[in-house]
Amino acid sequence: MHGHDHQVSLGFSPDLYPAGTHICYLLNDEQEWSRIVPPYIRSGLEGGESVDYFADVSGSDMLDPVFQSIGMAGSSQASTDGFAVALAVAVAMDKYCPDGRFVPERMLSALCDIYDRACAAGFAGARVTGEMTWALRGVPGSERLIEYETQINTMLREHPLTVLCQYDTRKFDGGTIFEVLNVHPMLIVHGQILRNPFYIPSDQSLRAKSGESGGA
């Protein structure tokens, strides 16, 4: 397993980025999505990383179309090309809110586990990507979304898995998107990956948050 010094391909860009990069993808177009997310997943698998995809679908019976949309024939067929162990697709709500509540600390711990398990299994790294629209379902604790995103940046220092957070600008309001930008060092907009000048490093952000009464 490599650390931050390990450069990884994101699949949709010719450049390499350090493992453990935290990226905000401002999504507003399905065609563009297909040029970003499936290559991100495939490049992780081809690079020997484990990949977890958290899809905002209503149930596990809806996961086959997700497999298809990311260019995989389906869970059963994935085993034939050696990706079965590496690629896991799950219902976002089951991962983020397993008991119907969102607890950032629990999810951060789950991300650490993903990284640790990948290390133990001999993968070259780990990457995850999640469709964040689950946070719009009014689940208790989802108001702590920005706090969670902030803490990911701290967590990644010790567990450098690459994280791509998919925020659909057709669903989230503009104010929330602005807050989301503040906590992601990298940004994908119109299919281009950019260093995000709105990013506020974790320690500054948490200090600022501690002065506020509520979350995002």
Partner 1 sequence: MTDSGVQADVLGRLLIIQQTLDAFPDETRIAEFICRALKTVPGVSDVLICIRGRMIPPDVLFQAICAQSERAWDAPGSLDLAAVDRKNNAHYFPLRTAWHLFGLLIVLVADEDMVRPYLGLLGNTANTMGIILSTRMYQAKLAKSNEELRIARDESERLLLNLLPYPIAERLKARPDLSADSIPAVIADSFPEVTVLFADIVEFTRFSAGMSAERLVAVLNEIFTDFDSIADHRGLEKIKTIGDAYMAAAGLPVPAADHAVRVAHMALDMMDALDRFNARSGYRLQLRIGINSGAVVAGVIGTRKFIYDLWGDTVNTASRMESHGVAGRVQVTDATRRRLGEPFLFEERGIIDAKGIGELHTWFLTGRNGAPRPNDARPQH
3-state class of 53 per DSSP?
A: strand
**At CB < 8 A and 24+ separation, what contacts does 5-9 make?**
6/124, 6/125, 6/160, 8/43, 8/44, 8/47, 8/49, 8/125, 8/127, 8/162, 9/43, 9/47
At 123 the three-state DSSP class reads: coil
One residue of 59, 100, 122, 197 binding partner 1 per CB under 8 A: 197
Binding partner 1 (rule: CB under 8 A), the pick from 128, 164, 187, 216 is: 187
C-beta of 92 vs 216, nearer to partner 1: 216
17 binding partner 1? (CB under 8 A): no
Q: How many residues bind partner 1 (CB under 8 A)?
A: 20
Beta bridge partners of 129: 53, 164
Q: Which stretch binds partner 1 (CB under 8 A): 84-92, 115-123, 181-189, 205-213?
A: 181-189
User: Is residue 45 a contact point for partner 1 (CB under 8 A)?
Assistant: no
β-strand partners of 127: 51, 162
Q: Hey, which residues between 141 and 180 contact partner 1 (CB under 8 A)?
A: 169-170, 172-175, 177-179
Q: How many CB atoms neighbour CB 138 within 10 A?
A: 7
For the CB of residue 76, give the shortest distance to partner 1 in the complex, in Å: 36
Residue 100 vs 195, nearer CB to partner 1? 195
Separation in Å, CA 103 to CA 106, 139, 141, 152: 5, 10, 6, 13
Binding status of residue 90 toward partner 1 by CB under 8 A: no
**Binds partner 1 by CB under 8 A, chosen from 7, 28, 34, 60:** 28
Residues in the site for partner 1, rule: CB under 8 A?
26, 28, 169-170, 172-175, 177-179, 181, 187, 189-190, 194-198
